[in-house]
Structure 1
Amino acid sequence: MDETTGLSLPSELLLLWHAHRTEILLSAGLFLACLRLAIHWRRTRSKAVLTPPLGSPVDQKPSLLAKQHLAEAEHYVSSPTSLSKNAKPGPKRVTGVKRTKSSPVDVLPTSINNIQPLIFYFSLGGSTRSYAETLQQSLNTNIESEAKILQPILHDLTAIDYDDFFISPPKSDKPNTAHFYVILLPSYDISTELENFLEHLDETHNDFRIDTAPLSRLAGYSVFGFGDQQDWPTEERGYCKDAVEVDKWMARLTGRKRAFPLGIGDVKADAGERLEEWTVGVQAAMVDIAHGRGLGEGVPGSGEAVESADEAELDDDEEDAETPPSSKKQRKPIKRSQTSDLEDLKAPIPVDFTTTTTTKQPSPPPKPTAPKPMVPVNSPTHTSLTKQGYTIIGSHSGVKICRWTKSALRGRGSCYKYSFYGIASHLCMEATPSLSCSNKCVFCWRHGTNPVGTTWRWEVDPPGMVFEGMKEGHYRKIKMLKGVPGVRAERFQQAMRIRHCALSLVGEPIFYPRINELLALLHGERISTFLVCNAQHPDHLAALDHVTQLYVSIDASNKDSLRRIDRPLHRDFWERFLRCMDILREKRYQQRTVFRLTLVKGFNVEDEAEGYADLVARALPSFVEVKGVTYCGTSTSAGAGLSMQNVPFYEEVSAFVLALESALERRGLDYGIAAEHAHSCCILLADKTRYFKPSAEHGGEERWHTLIDYVKFFECLESGRDFGPEDYVGSPTAEWALWGRGGFDPRDERVDRKGRPKVVEV
């Protein structure tokens, strides 16, 4: 005890604690925290060699990763200098493969020994069962020679467990056997077992515990629907609605393995005939799979460049629903070199080295060199055109599927040629024997990637090779579309026989030195020919034999406008242009001739109707097509001053046509507006004296006759006698195609970009 203060030592400590306890507790806590951090830091540092860097991807197999890091640690321990000698400064780059859910675990065997067809059907009254049995007998008869295709097995959807077939494919006793599902479904207006089947497919697709494509091991599938078109005329009103739904769900569950388009048949009209046609296609698809040819490439592969860019290649809802996430890619514009088009460095430079003259002493002629391919296989031009969806044939020809072909296959309408001349787009092949052109048009939708030239200086492929290559490339691309949602089975079958050829794809078809031989091959298989030229090769035009219809592109009414729009390479381009007008006038009694006017607002629309009327008076074509330009958004167009502001509205095109009609009337020319196709922004003027005449089908009333009788054309051609366009005039133009009616076939369905029905106002 302290005698002075009278306090003991414990009492003093207690007073100090009460006076400074807050500071003591905070200090102790801070000390313990620092100690804990120091210990953690030492442990982390000691294990750094075994720990991957922050943010490194971790593999699905941790045991293998641990072994790898352990081996690296042993290497560094045994060779302490290896890290400093061999390692590069900075973080280590880790490479790997991104794993996605869409990659199916259950994939098709690489080699298929057998294909087992399974026929599923649903029936209340027994009619669909009869159709299924007929299909089974037909397949049994037709596949006897195919050892790899087993006898089909019939299954009633009401008598099976859906989990056994529609969550994963059934097991087979035979090795490497893939199943092929064939589903036949009617549609009813009452509640049936089909509702449970559809609900099962829906739940399977949306169950997070089941893989995205659980039926990916199937070799393929196809669906056929039966409906009553009299009571339910459209899909929205119930026609084959259940088959359409099942087809969509199966596309999702199989990873888009639609082997043949959805077939539909009217039980009160053509169900048996449609089923028979569809069966042939399904059988052919199974044979292709059995022989290793697969299902085709589906929607991708038809390219980005389209003839008319006002609709998407795929509806967004269908692409999102049926395209795996891993295969979706953003469409990017093709990057091109700034010097890929030398003519665009100082546009325009219209120079024709074949027509210039000089007063100087001529130099000795150069030694002749062997001609080279127009589009070599390894050239950037070949790569660019291939990316745009072109199939290059030989060294200078090409073929491509038009957007309207895809539209017609899906029952969404054909192009204006169907309204005007009776050409169904799904029966038409778009091709060219010459990818080279002598113009660099500002509105060209070929992106300026095709070669140019004023004279033919390349190799010449034989016409037979060009013709066979065109057909092969076209049919191959048609087969790619059999998995596209909405493709009609009967139109797909029809598309496998080409009936028309539009020689207007890209370049200048009459530039090909052996064009007449190619035309003879096309006509030999009764394929009609629609040839388009740009009025810059009068000698070739004069030597051209018969074609079904001859087009000349008229993009301007005067020299200055033609120079700005077409940017021709020939120095005497205007003289060549006028010579072609005179040649066209001479040919007007030998074949149907057409002026094709492409209107570009700000270039050739304002105050040029009178100039166009003068050209019509000079050439006297059978028809005048007036079409608004389609803007492609390319750098070439932008560099020439073209934008969306230069695309005319349909009302502006109509006003121009009316002005042109009046200008022709003032010149004493009897032309009238015969037809229109508002969807293409295209209107047709025709010579009244030749194509507006009494119609026997309408009691002698005068009607427009712009359609072509293709059978008569080939009969005239094969007879060997002289004939003219009046000898193969077809039946009267359809009512829905006449001026003021819109021009869209009412048997088809017009849709918007999302695939929704679109109301057309006339």
Structure 2
Amino acid sequence: MRSKILSTLWELAINNKLTSALAVGITLILTTGVYRKLQQNYPKVKKFYKDSKQQQQQQQCNCMKNKPKLKILYGSTAGSSRRLSKKLQQLLKNNDSILQIFESIECICTDQYDPEDELLNDASNGNYLIILMPTFTGGEPPENARWFCQWIKDAANDFRLSKNALSQLSFAILGIGDSIYGDDFCLCSFKLTKALKQLSSRCLYKTSVLDRSALESIEDQFQLWYQKILSILIEQETKCCSSDSSSDSTNYSTFVNVGDDSVNADDDDDDDGEFDEDYAEEYESKRNDQIVTDLEDIVTNTEKKKSASNNNNKKQPIRDMLTTDLRKELTKQGYKLIGTHSGVKLCRWTKSMLRGRGGCYKYTFYGIESHRCMEATPSLACANKCVFCWRHHTNPVGTEWKWNMDPPDMIFNNTMNAHYAMIKQYNSVPGVLPERIDEAMHVRHCALSLVGEPIMYPEINEFIRLLHSKEISTFLVTNAQFPDEIKRLDPVTQLYVSVDASSKVSLKKIDRPLFRDFWERFNESLRLLSFKGQRTVYRLTLVKSWNSEEIDGYARLVILGQPDFIEIKGVTYCGTSMNESNLTMKNVPWHEEVVRFGKDLLEIINQQIKQRKLNQSGISGYSENFDSELYGLACEHEHSNCLLLARRKFYINNQWYTWIDYSKFNQLIQEYYRTNGERTFTSIDYLAPTPKWATFGASEQGFNPNDTRFRKKRNHTYDKN
């Protein structure tokens, strides 16, 4: 190479091109110098690139050493959030990409997670929280999540705690509720988001909700949310490992969430305490098409469709009350579903009486033969979510009729057919008495108390009339949230009102009503009950340590509604359905406790009645007829843990007349219909004597001696204390 260059220089010199020769010479000198320098430094250059690669690998190693933990926290009401949390944990554990990102994936109930000790520690370690939070009455968190939410709320407002205390904590919240609750819908989830944001926590994704009233099932909504949150979590690995390579090490806590849905604490000025639930809106102009899909696009397509429909002035199509998931769940529980909103089911007492093992308390109190009784409802929807509901809260809820409506004759015919089909299945069951099967194939009573609120059905009067046309008596139960419907209701054999509490606070806590004016509706319903001429009943469900001390309040409500009868029944423990209120067997009163409560209540009621009469009429108000306004202990059914108080007008010639003359009632109601309501009747017109074995104090304690009592063998015992 050098010989060629020298030859070129010689030729240029000969041709008098000295300038060009000089330039080539200088280039040769420089090139030769660099070449020699590279030869000398090649080992150092090779070592530099090798060290650089090792440093990059070391950074990745440090990144993996600093893996955060992912904790799934849940509050619990009816158990849905717990089930979904466990499902989420399992889905994430089955994902290899997620396992590479997080050190561990834990699922913890909020009452097992102490925020005072663990939250700051999780923040300092850059951990992630995914919180599934159902909504209790009034938009509040459930019982087992109250301390968790309250501590975070207090911390957010505590001037002693730095506003950046949780700046390295990442979180996402999924609310679970029902939009029928209006402004209270998942309110606690948004409040929790606000508090965490005030402490500079980073939101992985905007607060999302699962709506039980949406067209999509809870499972489908959850799956859509899961896919979105999964993609966000997976991208954290990319964010971490592709971060600033000039850092000596990488830590997950240095990153803001994917898509910028959360706001960096340094850029977020929230010192004034104001909070916008759509707090990411100010960033939407920067993100445009890159913004993560909004809540309505993910889990509440129903609301999106509804909004679009309103904008186009188009009427929203009416949907069925029973969704696919509801049908599946209720069918699994043994319900025979009729049409789009009705149901029928065999009561356990029907099965018991078919075998000659005794009937329910309604047989003892009122003479209803349990094997000839059909338990049904024309409306599976309810306006309450009572904590002791034995239906496991699988039925829909609502404050008004908003669904497709089936005609009453279709409901009646299909309900009867479904009931008879279930009775026939017991033909071959061991121990069933053939004569009882024959009698059961002629229904004589209908308990409209299966589930939901039957009085919500717009055609309830027509449905009841069909039952009466077949000489079937009607016992209708309402939760006292529909006073106008009670007022319009035609006569039934016996009208029940559930009186689960005696104060506004306790009623809200126990019944969890949807109506904001629930207490006013409750009292008006009781007042209207006093104007009903037929038999009326208060049903008190006694929950030990919850409402068993409210005797004075119950007495006041009795004076308001003046019912003919008062049933006092100990709450029935239903296992997992109690999770939302933490009720246990200790909250189930013993029969002697129910009796003691009944005696105390009876004394206070009669005292108030006497005082009221004295205030109105003076001493002259006391007459022979006055005794009929008082109450007495009439019946008990120890097997059902139930006691009956009755007005003493049903105590005639030293004998109780709490039973019903059903033939007489059938005559009276048909005359009522024939005269379009002009010829009415009262509860005294169709009474019948109560057998001695059914009265309070009898040795049988309400069990018919003609039947054989069956006692299950139980190995466990309960402490009466």
Which bracket does the TM-score occupy, shorter chain normalised? Answer: 0.5 to 0.7
Residue correspondence of structure 1 range 680-719 to structure 2 within 5 A = 680-688=640-648, 690-694=649-653, 702-719=654-671
- Is the CA contact 1:352–1:572 (under 8 Å) kept in the aligned structure 2? no
1:647 paired residue number:
588
> Which among 386, 389, 411 is matched to residue 466 of structure 1?
411
Secondary structure at the aligned position of 2:425 is classed as helix
Read off the aligned partner of 2:513 and give its amino acid letter: P
1:724 paired residue number:
682
- Is the CA contact 2:81–2:134 (under 8 Å) kept in the aligned structure 1? no
1:347 paired residue number:
136
2:573 paired residue number:
631
Read off the aligned partner of 1:487 and give its amino acid letter: V
CA distance in structure 1 between the partners assigned to 2:437 and 2:713 by the alignment = 22
CA distance in structure 1 between the partners assigned to 2:486 and 2:339 by the alignment = 24
Question: Where does structure 1 lack aligned partners over 5 or more consecutive residues?
Answer: 1-332, 357-361, 695-701, 756-762
- Is the CA contact 1:626–1:657 (under 8 Å) kept in the aligned structure 2? yes
Cα distance, 1:602 vs structure 2: 1.5
Cα distance, 1:445 vs structure 2: 0.5
Does residue 431 in structure 1 map to residue 379 in structure 2?
no
- Is the CA contact 2:81–2:133 (under 8 Å) kept in the aligned structure 1? no
Q: Which has the higher helix share?
A: 2
CA distance in structure 1 between the partners assigned to 2:399 and 2:570 by the alignment = 28
1:656 paired residue number:
597
Question: CA 1:354/1:334 → structure 2, altered by over 3 Å: closer, same or farther?
Answer: closer
CA distance in structure 2 between the partners assigned to 1:473 and 1:339 by the alignment = 37
Cα distance, 1:733 vs structure 2: 0.8
Secondary structure at the aligned position of 2:396 is classed as coil
Read off the aligned partner of 2:665 and give its amino acid letter: F
Read off the aligned partner of 1:372 and give its amino acid letter: R
> Which among 671, 696, 711 is matched to residue 739 of structure 1?
696
Question: CA 1:337/1:453 → structure 2, altered by over 3 Å: closer, same or farther?
Answer: farther
Secondary structure at the aligned position of 1:683 is classed as strand
Residue correspondence of structure 1 range 184-199 to structure 2 within 5 A = none
CA distance in structure 2 between the partners assigned to 1:413 and 1:651 by the alignment = 21
- Is the CA contact 2:447–2:476 (under 8 Å) kept in the aligned structure 1? yes
Deviation by residue 1:13-47 (Cα, 9 ceiling, x = unmatched): xxxxxxxxxxxxxxxxxxxxxxxxxxxxxxxxxxx
Question: CA 1:335/1:389 → structure 2, altered by over 3 Å: closer, same or farther?
Answer: farther
Question: Where does structure 2 lack aligned partners over 5 or more consecutive residues?
Answer: 1-79, 88-131, 140-178, 185-306, 611-628, 673-678, 715-721
- Is the CA contact 1:339–1:345 (under 8 Å) kept in the aligned structure 2? no
Q: 746-755 vs 490-499, which deviates more? A: 746-755
- Is the CA contact 1:355–1:571 (under 8 Å) kept in the aligned structure 2? no
2:317 paired residue number:
370
Residue correspondence of structure 1 range 94-173 to structure 2 within 5 A = none
Question: CA 1:638/1:675 → structure 2, altered by over 3 Å: closer, same or farther?
Answer: same
Residue correspondence of structure 1 range 6-405 to structure 2 within 5 A = 337=84, 345-349=134-138, 367-376=314-323, 379-405=324-350
CA distance in structure 1 between the partners assigned to 2:632 and 2:573 by the alignment = 28
Question: CA 1:339/1:626 → structure 2, altered by over 3 Å: closer, same or farther?
Answer: farther
Deviation by residue 1:696-736 (Cα, 9 ceiling, x = unmatched): xxxxxx21100100111111111232111111111x21111
Residue correspondence of structure 1 range 413-562 to structure 2 within 5 A = 413-562=358-507
CA distance in structure 1 between the partners assigned to 2:458 and 2:325 by the alignment = 25
CA distance in structure 2 between the partners assigned to 1:620 and 1:352 by the alignment = 33
- Is the CA contact 2:500–2:540 (under 8 Å) kept in the aligned structure 1? yes
CA distance in structure 2 between the partners assigned to 1:593 and 1:585 by the alignment = 8
CA distance in structure 1 between the partners assigned to 2:374 and 2:86 by the alignment = 33
1:615 paired residue number:
557
Cα distance, 1:352 vs structure 2: 7.0
Secondary structure at the aligned position of 1:684 is classed as strand
CA distance in structure 2 between the partners assigned to 1:349 and 1:657 by the alignment = 32
Secondary structure at the aligned position of 2:375 is classed as strand
CA distance in structure 2 between the partners assigned to 1:537 and 1:374 by the alignment = 19
Secondary structure at the aligned position of 1:586 is classed as coil
CA distance in structure 1 between the partners assigned to 2:499 and 2:397 by the alignment = 19
Cα distance, 1:364 vs structure 2: 7.8
TM-score, L = length of structure 2? 0.54
> Which among 592, 617, 638 is matched to residue 678 of structure 1?
638
Q: Report percent identity of matched pairs.
A: 53
> Which among 525, 531, 539 is matched to residue 596 of structure 1?
539
CA distance in structure 2 between the partners assigned to 1:719 and 1:469 by the alignment = 27
1:579 paired residue number:
524
Q: Give the length in aligned residue pairs.
A: 402
Read off the aligned partner of 1:595 and give its amino acid letter: Y
CA distance in structure 1 between the partners assigned to 2:183 and 2:558 by the alignment = 28
CA distance in structure 1 between the partners assigned to 2:455 and 2:382 by the alignment = 10
CA distance in structure 2 between the partners assigned to 1:475 and 1:461 by the alignment = 21
Question: CA 1:405/1:737 → structure 2, altered by over 3 Å: closer, same or farther?
Answer: same
Secondary structure at the aligned position of 2:393 is classed as coil
Question: CA 1:520/1:638 → structure 2, altered by over 3 Å: closer, same or farther?
Answer: same
CA distance in structure 2 between the partners assigned to 1:647 and 1:603 by the alignment = 10
Cα distance, 1:539 vs structure 2: 1.1
CA distance in structure 2 between the partners assigned to 1:480 and 1:740 by the alignment = 38
Secondary structure at the aligned position of 1:577 is classed as helix
- Is the CA contact 1:352–1:570 (under 8 Å) kept in the aligned structure 2? no
CA distance in structure 1 between the partners assigned to 2:420 and 2:431 by the alignment = 19
CA distance in structure 1 between the partners assigned to 2:685 and 2:133 by the alignment = 46
Secondary structure at the aligned position of 1:482 is classed as coil
CA distance in structure 1 between the partners assigned to 2:346 and 2:461 by the alignment = 24
CA distance in structure 2 between the partners assigned to 1:346 and 1:519 by the alignment = 36
Question: CA 1:481/1:664 → structure 2, altered by over 3 Å: closer, same or farther?
Answer: same
Secondary structure at the aligned position of 2:530 is classed as helix
Does residue 605 in structure 1 map to residue 548 in structure 2?
yes
Cα distance, 1:369 vs structure 2: 1.3
CA distance in structure 2 between the partners assigned to 1:577 and 1:723 by the alignment = 26
CA distance in structure 2 between the partners assigned to 1:347 and 1:560 by the alignment = 14
Secondary structure at the aligned position of 1:639 is classed as coil
Deviation by residue 1:145-203 (Cα, 9 ceiling, x = unmatched): xxxxxxxxxxxxxxxxxxxxxxxxxxxxxxxxxxxxxxxxxxxxxxxxxxxxxxxxxxx
Question: CA 1:370/1:483 → structure 2, altered by over 3 Å: closer, same or farther?
Answer: same
Read off the aligned partner of 1:401 and give its amino acid letter: L
TM-score, L = length of structure 1? 0.51
Read off the aligned partner of 2:690 and give its amino acid letter: T
2:675 paired residue number:
none
Cα distance, 1:349 vs structure 2: 2.7
Read off the aligned partner of 1:412 and give its amino acid letter: R
- Is the CA contact 2:496–2:537 (under 8 Å) kept in the aligned structure 1? yes
Question: CA 1:737/1:400 → structure 2, altered by over 3 Å: closer, same or farther?
Answer: same
CA distance in structure 2 between the partners assigned to 1:746 and 1:480 by the alignment = 27
Secondary structure at the aligned position of 2:528 is classed as helix
Question: CA 1:338/1:488 → structure 2, altered by over 3 Å: closer, same or farther?
Answer: farther
Cα distance, 1:368 vs structure 2: 2.1
Question: CA 1:372/1:486 → structure 2, altered by over 3 Å: closer, same or farther?
Answer: same
Secondary structure at the aligned position of 1:654 is classed as helix
CA distance in structure 1 between the partners assigned to 2:668 and 2:133 by the alignment = 46
